């Protein structure tokens, strides 16, 4: 007989309660995931207009689990699955979540660069569902004091992020706004961001950036890089998920010149193409250090092409190469 794991149990409870709420409150599944997450966090049913029978059914399902017995990673993973299901159902086609295969690798890199610090401030200016940021926070559990900030323009995604953070007990400060407008976050030690790629429609706001396009709309991913550097401390590190073609477009020379002035490129690591539906949309991790009195140019930037995450032997060999790079350059 197949035994049901704790994680599956939690997934089933979130999934089934979201279905019940979606049906009765006429919400999309993903909106109902946010509602049921709130209920779980508050330990009560917050939707007043539900029928008594639905309230009873919900309570029975919530009572079947004890959240305090779950690890942060178990809660994040269960939420990741329901959110993925919700996003796939397509009510919100533009919404994306960073998968934890990428998040875990980024967590490893962040730890390698700054893991010996006791306190750390970290910002994700396109926090979305919070999956990337909380994967990294869970990975950095050895750091004693972690202060984190998440910004997103999408109110549903940021609601999911804040529920995710509450359930995992991460005291993240969230801002629901356009990250390219004025951002009230003091410079941080580390910025991480799965950049939104495309054109930024607000030319007035874009005109405040050095990386604005000479004509037409600017690339939002370029403006995000500039804004992130502005909100990172001198000598601090930035980890971006960027299109593979970042340095090949017609705006690239300007980006290159700007980066030379304000930052040091520490690495460019191509993610396995198998992670992306279309090779044209392949992505890489760009690692920068903001220039400052202690910033240091590596002998050579960390350049690598990652094998499939499932290929353990090749992945171990890659980790060894990366460790080697660290021993020679850090
Ligand atoms: N890392 C996120 C996660 O794990 O869910 C996913 C990030 S997704 C690739 C990019 C995010 O950028 C989306 O959540 C989108 O709403 C957000 N975004 C796009 N333009 C924005 C802007 N101008 N200001 C703030 N957020 C923005």
Q: Is 126 in the pocket of ligand 1 (CB under 6 A)?
A: yes
DSSP, collapsed to helix, strand or coil, labels residue 280 as helix
Domain positions in the chain: 6-89, 100-329
Provide the pLDDT for residue 277.
83
3-class secondary-structure state, position 233: strand
Packed helices 100-114 and 312-329: angle between N→C axes, nearest 10 degrees = 20
3-state secondary structure of 180: coil
Q: For position 1, what pLDDT does the model report?
A: 53
Q: How high is the pLDDT of residue 210?
A: 98
Tokens found for residue 20? 């019940």
* Residues 6 or more apart in contact with residue 83 via CB below 8 angstroms: 30, 33, 97, 129, 131, 160
Residue with tokens 């197949």: 2
Report the C-alpha gap between 76 and 92 in whole angstroms.
21
pLDDT at 91: 56
303-to-68, 165, 233 alpha-carbon distances in Å:
42, 33, 24
Cα distance between residue 286 and residue 238, in whole Å: 8
What is the Å distance from ligand 1's center to 194 Cα? Answer: 7
User: Which residue puts its alpha carbon closest to atom 8 of ligand 1?
Assistant: 96
How far, in Å, from the CA of 94 to the mean position of ligand 1? 10
User: Is CATH 3.40.50.970 correct for 6-89?
Assistant: no
Cα 283 to Cα 77: distance, rounded to the nearest angstrom: 23
Cα separation, 287 vs 298, whole angstroms: 12
Give me the pLDDT at residue 207, please.
97
Q: What's the pLDDT score for residue 89?
A: 84
What's the first-to-final CA gap in the chain, in angstroms?
51
Residues 100-329, CATH architecture: 3-Layer(aba) Sandwich (3.40)
Ligand 1 atom at minimal distance to the Cα of residue 128:
14
Q: What is the pLDDT of residue 92?
A: 61
| pLDDT value of residue 115 | 77
Q: Supply the residue whose CA is at minimum distance from atom 19 of ligand 1.
A: 196
**pLDDT by residue for the chain (330 residues), tens digit each?**
556 788 999 999 999 999 999 999 999 999 999 999 999 999 999 999 899 999 999 999 999 999 999 999 999 999 999 999 998 886 565 678 999 999 999 999 999 999 789 999 999 999 999 999 999 999 999 999 999 999 999 999 999 999 999 999 999 999 999 999 999 999 999 999 999 999 999 999 999 999 999 999 999 999 999 999 999 999 999 999 999 999 999 999 999 999 999 999 999 999 999 998 888 889 999 999 999 999 999 999 999 999 999 999 999 999 999 999 999 998
CA atoms of 160 and 30, how far apart (whole Å): 9
Helix (H, G, I), strand (E, B) or coil at 299: coil
pLDDT, position 15: 98
Left (φ > 0), alpha (ψ -120 to 50) or beta: where does 95 sit? beta
Token pair 């993925």 in the structure block, residue: 84
Cα–Cα distance for residue pair 324/117, rounded to 1 Å = 21
């Amino acid at each position: 007989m197949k035994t049901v794991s704790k994680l599956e149990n939690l997934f089933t409870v979130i999934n089934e309660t979201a279905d019940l709420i979606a049906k009765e409150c006429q919400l999309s599944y993903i909106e109902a995931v946010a509602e049921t997450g709130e209920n779980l966090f508050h330990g009560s049913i917050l939707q007043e207009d539900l029928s008594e029978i639905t309230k009873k059914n919900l309570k029975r399902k919530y009572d079947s689990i004890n959240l305090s017995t779950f690890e942060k990673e178990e809660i994040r993973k269960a939420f990741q699955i329901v959110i993925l299901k919700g996003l796939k159902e397509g009510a919100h086609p533009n919404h994306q979540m960073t998968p934890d295969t990428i998040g875990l690798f980024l967590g490893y890199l962040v730890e390698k660069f700054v893991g010996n610090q006791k306190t750390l401030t970290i910002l994700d200016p396109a926090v979305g569902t919070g999956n990337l940021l909380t994967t990294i926070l869970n990975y950095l559990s050895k750091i004693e004091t972690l202060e984190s900030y998440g910004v997103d323009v999408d109110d549903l995604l940021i609601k999911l992020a804040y529920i995710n953070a509450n359930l995992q007990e991460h005291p993240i400060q969230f801002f629901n706004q356009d990250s390219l407008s004025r951002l009230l976050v003091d410079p941080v030690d580390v910025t991480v961001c799965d950049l939104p790629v495309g054109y930024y429609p607000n030319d007035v706001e874009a005109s405040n950036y050095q990386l604005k396009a000479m004509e037409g709309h600017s690339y939002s991913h370029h403006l995000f890089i500039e804004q992130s550097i502005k909100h990172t401390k001198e000598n601090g590190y930035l980890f971006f998920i960027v299109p593979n073609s970042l340095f090949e477009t017609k705006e690239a020379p300007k980006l290159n010149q700007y980066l030379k002035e304000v930052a040091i490129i520490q690495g460019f690591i191509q993610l396995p193409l198998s992670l992306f539906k279309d090779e044209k949309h392949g992505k890489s991790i760009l690692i920068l250090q903001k220039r400052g009195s202690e910033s240091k140019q590596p002998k050579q930037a960390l350049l690598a092409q990652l094998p499939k995450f499932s290929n353990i032997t090749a992945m171990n060999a890659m980790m060894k190469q990366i460790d080697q790079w660290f021993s020679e350059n850090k």
